[in-house]
Structure 1
C-alpha cells in the first residue's frame, strides 16, 4: 500500500490572485474553484490516473485570515525551461515576485524569490536547450 502526493496547499489572503500568479509561473490553469479556494494544475486529476501512477501534484490556494509570519519551512523550486535563470527571474519580477534574502549568501546558482504574498521559492538553473 502507498499514498500519492496529490496537492500542495498554500494558505493565503487572496486565492484568486495567488493562483493567477502561480499559473503564470508554471503555465498551469485553474482546474477547480470554490468559495475561498482555487486549485491549479497542469492536468485535471482523476482517481484512476492517480491510482495508476504518480502524477504531478496540483496547487491549492486556501483563504485564511492570518498573514505569513516567518520563513517558509517548505518551498517550491522552479527551473526555467524556455529562458535563462536571469531571464526567468526578470519575467517573474514583472508578474509581482520579489527577490528576498533568507541568508542564502551571494555565491549561489539559484535565486530566492517570494510570491506576491511573501511565500519564498527558488529559481534554479535553467533547463532550456
Structure 2
C-alpha cells in the first residue's frame, strides 16, 4: 500500500487573493470553496492546491515551495508575467549565479521559476528516447 497526494495546501490570510494569484499563475480555476478553504485545480482535473486560512499570528517560513517551469515562453517572460500578477522578487540567499529565479506570491510564499521551459525539458527527454 502507498499514499497518494490529494492536494497541496498553501496557508494564507487572504485566501481569495492567494487563490486568485495561483489560479492565474498556473492557468487553473477555482473548483471548490468550503468553510473558507478555496481549492484550485487544472480544468482537466488532477492534483490541486487548497488555499487554507491561517491565524494572523502565523509568520513562520514555509518549508515546502513550488518550482515552476515556463510553458510556451521563456523564464524571463514568465517571471515578468508573474510579477505582473502580484508576485515579488525574493532573496533567500540564492546568490547571483543560480539558474532559477526566486519569487514570492502576494503573501510571501516563496516559489522558483526554473531556467528550462516545459518545451526545453520535453525536447531533451525526447532526444534521449
Q: Pairwise mapping of residues 105-120 of structure 1 onto structure 2 (< 5 A)?
A: 105-120=95-110
Higher relative contact order (CA 8 A, sep 6+): 1
Aligned counterpart, 1:77: 67
2:59 is equivalent to residue 42 of structure 1: no
Q: Distance in 1 between matches of 2:6 and 2:60?
A: 26
2:85 is equivalent to residue 103 of structure 1: no
* Structure 1 residue runs without a partner (length 5+): 46-55
Aligned counterpart, 2:54: 64
Aligned counterpart, 1:3: 3
Note the aligned Cα RMSD (angstroms): 1.6
Q: Number of matched residues?
A: 119
Deviation >4 Å, runs of 4+: none
* Structure 2 residue runs without a partner (length 5+): 121-129
* Structure showing the higher helix proportion among its residues: 2
2:113 is equivalent to residue 123 of structure 1: yes
Q: TM-score, normalised by structure 1?
A: 0.85
Helix, strand or coil at the partner of 1:18: helix
Q: Distance in 2 between matches of 1:68 and 1:122?
A: 22
Q: TM-score, normalised by structure 2?
A: 0.85
